[in-house]
Chain A
Amino acid sequence: MANDISLQTATVKAMLVRDAGGKSIPSIQSLLKYDKYIYGLLGLAFFVFLWWFANSTGVLNPKFLSPPQTVLMTLIAGVLPDGDIWPEIWPSLGRGLEGFAIALALGILGGIFVGSFTLLEKVLAPILLFFRNLSILALFPVFLLFFGIGEESKIAIVAWASFWPIFISTTSAVKGVERILINAARTLGAERPYIFAHVVLPAAVPNIFPGIRLAASYAFTALVAAEYLGATEGLGIYIRASQERFEIPSMYAGILVLGLIGVAINLVLTGVEQRVTRWQLGITSR
């Protein structure tokens, strides 16, 4: 996961560098700009071919692996407004985003707080160490006890899972904020709340983002697990039910939708990240 993130930033970096120096040979440069997509498409095509090949030659049992074209048709039929996947998307997406938003707010606030007060961090260290390493699966029964089997428990599970990476990256990002910037703000007359919002947060944001992206993927992992546990609607339960009914193409279509949601969220987050960390271009090698 971490590798994946750094690879993406590396590509973005490379693109930006090219953008900057791309005035001299526009034709080649403008083609080079798209190389990421061209290579990406090649890789994708190869993967689909392998999938098709494995299915049609029977290398992988065709009963368990549907051919790509069938999965695609099922997917398209499913996500049409009257399809059977469409109504499952929104409950899942809603839970996922709600839990993620809660984690985002609490993780950043808590991280700034704990990261700013050394004493607080020392006091909380053992407790935090215990919980952050605790398997989310072990906590499911606890969440069910407190929040029931309704929406709340699922949202809480998602929030819990995605809270930790955000919280941890914020804590360390806050500790990395240069003392001199805080002192400069203080001499300008700033009080604590202003310093948190206008100095600590912007200075820390670039180092919080890797945690946020990790959190987004944790959110949907936890969500699907929560839905397996018991839900009447949602992509998790759809995937599982399809398998139980032996509607294998539907199962794969559901997985594909989940994966695509993950990709979309990652793209959105990358866009936001580039926007809010644009000032770093030229300072770091980002």
Chain B
Amino acid sequence: MTELVTGLTKSATGNAYKLYAGDLGKTFRHISHGAGTAATEVLKGFNLAIQEGEFVALLGPSGCGKSTFLNIIAGLEDFNEGRLLLDGAAVRGVSKTVGVVFQSYALFPWLSVQKNVEAGLRIRGVPARERHEIASRVLRMVGLEGFTQHLPHRLSGGMRQRVAIARALAYDPEVLVLDEPFAALDAQTREFLQNELLRIWETVGRKKTILFVTHSIDEAIFLADRIAVMTKRPGKIKSVIDVNLSRPRDDTARATAEYGRIRREVAAILQEEVELGK
């Protein structure tokens, strides 16, 4: 178990963390059906530090604030307490260096696969020819070169998810956050896409920093360098577990003793939280 970093915004090597959340707190205020306003404290004392090029999986009970944290990183949601640093600088609004993959794909249904993937480049003013080339390359990378002219609703769930990933990869963000991207898929497609994601991450020139939210312990172990497990709401990081499995990983990794050990450890921590929640 690695130590939780609190107060320090720099790693042991002296470099700024790619992503640093210190004592983050988030409370939703909303008009309640009964009287006046109600408040939901979603995050409290949330600490997490991620280094450049790291793959971190975020696990936690349902409703503990995982999506909320992701939205905060993406700049879609603000927070009330603490600090959030990206490359050592405070995050303010949507950052152009963060790519997001939503659980519900969020593809533009009126745009072809190709145009969806080009969207981020178009917004950045990349000329038509260049963005076409980039999008085509990324689509080849995710194995969708034969579907560039399809509309999203004519694709299967797994293909849509790959389009969503391609769209986030196309403009080459340094940080990629994914919110349960494979949750809605069947087991085979899911494992296939896990392998694909690792292959892309491992082969792309400069490794992206990835934060991957999931409900699946197996998925977290198979993909991540470290697994951050959250408490129930108000959520904070309960513990961070190192995954010392060699890379590149393939399906044989799932059969190792280390895998089994980590699985039991994470399951026990999660179990505790779920029982506390009752």
Interface residues of A in 162-214 (CB under 8 A from B): 180-181, 183-190, 194, 199, 202-203
CA distance in complex: A190, B120 (Å): 8
CA distance in complex: A181, B124 (Å): 18
Known: A187-B100, A188-B119, A189-B96. A282 touches B76 (CB 8 A): no
Residues of chain A within 8 A of B104, CB atoms compared: 180
Residues of chain B within 8 A of A183, CB atoms compared: 74, 76, 102, 106
CA distance in complex: A181, B99 (Å): 14
A180 close to B120 (CB less than 8 A): no
Residues of chain B within 8 A of A280, CB atoms compared: 109
CA distance in complex: A186, B71 (Å): 11
What's the nearest-Cβ distance from chain B to residue A278, in Å?
9
B94 close to A189 (CB less than 8 A): yes
Tell me, yes or no, whether A279 is within 8 Å of chain B by CB: yes
Tell me, yes or no, whether A127 is within 8 Å of chain B by CB: no
A187 close to B98 (CB less than 8 A): yes
Tell me, yes or no, whether A119 is within 8 Å of chain B by CB: no
Binary contact track A137-152/B, C-beta < 8 Å → 1, others 0: 0000000000000000
Known: A180-B102, A188-B171. A279 touches B109 (CB 8 A): yes
Residues of chain B within 8 A of A185, CB atoms compared: 108, 119, 123
Tell me, yes or no, whether A283 is within 8 Å of chain B by CB: yes
B124 close to A189 (CB less than 8 A): yes
What's the nearest-Cβ distance from chain B to residue A171, in Å?
20
Interface residues of A in 189-248 (CB under 8 A from B): 189-190, 194, 199, 202-203
Residues of chain A within 8 A of B153, CB atoms compared: 282-283
B108 close to A199 (CB less than 8 A): yes
Residues of chain A within 8 A of B108, CB atoms compared: 181, 184-185, 199, 202-203
A283 close to B109 (CB less than 8 A): yes
What's the nearest-Cβ distance from chain A to residue B135, in Å?
13
Known: A279-B109, A282-B154. A190 touches B123 (CB 8 A): yes
B103 to chain A: closest residue by CB: A180
Tell me, yes or no, whether B158 is within 8 Å of chain A by CB: no
Residues of chain B within 8 A of A187, CB atoms compared: 74-76, 94, 98-100
Tell me, yes or no, whether B110 is within 8 Å of chain A by CB: yes
B151 close to A188 (CB less than 8 A): no
CA distance in complex: A202, B109 (Å): 9
What's the nearest-Cβ distance from chain B to residue A273, in Å?
14
Contact of B171 among A189, A203, A283 (CB under 8 A): A189
Q: How many residues of A contact B (CB 8 A)?
A: 18
What's the nearest-Cβ distance from chain B to residue A193, in Å?
11
Main SS class of interface, A: helix
Known: A186-B76, A189-B120, A190-B123. A203 touches B100 (CB 8 A): no
Tell me, yes or no, whether B167 is within 8 Å of chain A by CB: yes
What's the nearest-Cβ distance from chain B to residue A145, in Å?
44
What's the nearest-Cβ distance from chain A to residue B206, in Å?
20
What's the nearest-Cβ distance from chain B to residue A200, in Å?
11
Interface residues of B in 94-136 (CB under 8 A from A): 94, 96, 98-100, 102, 104, 106-111, 119-120, 123-124
A189 close to B123 (CB less than 8 A): yes
A180 close to B106 (CB less than 8 A): yes
Interface residues of B in 59-106 (CB under 8 A from A): 74-76, 94, 96, 98-100, 102, 104, 106
CA distance in complex: A184, B165 (Å): 12
Residues of chain A within 8 A of B119, CB atoms compared: 185, 188
CA distance in complex: A250, B130 (Å): 62
What's the nearest-Cβ distance from chain B to residue A181, in Å?
6
Residues of chain B within 8 A of A283, CB atoms compared: 109, 153
What's the nearest-Cβ distance from chain B to residue A151, in Å?
38
Binary contact track A242-286/B, C-beta < 8 Å → 1, others 0: 000000000000000000000000000000000000011011000
CA distance in complex: A203, B171 (Å): 23
B154 close to A181 (CB less than 8 A): no
CA distance in complex: A254, B20 (Å): 75
What's the nearest-Cβ distance from chain B to residue A180, in Å?
5
What's the nearest-Cβ distance from chain A to residue B28, in Å?
15
Which of B75, B94, B107 has its CB near the most chain A CB atoms (within 10 A)?
A: B94
Residues of chain A within 8 A of B109, CB atoms compared: 203, 279-280, 283
State the 6 A-B residue pairs at the shortest beta-carbon distance, nearest first.
A184-B106, A188-B120, A187-B100, A279-B110, A180-B106, A189-B123
A-B contact pairs, 26 of them (CB 8 A): A180-B102, A180-B104, A180-B106, A181-B106, A181-B108, A183-B102, A184-B100, A184-B102, A184-B106, A185-B108, A186-B76, A187-B94, A187-B99, A187-B100, A188-B123, A189-B120, A189-B123, A189-B124, A189-B171, A202-B110, A203-B110, A279-B110, A279-B151, A282-B151, A282-B154, A283-B109
Starting from the known contacts A181-B108, A185-B123, A282-B154, 9 additional A-B residue pairs (CB-CB under 8 Å) come to A186-B94, A187-B99, A187-B100, A188-B119, A188-B171, A189-B120, A189-B123, A282-B153, A283-B109
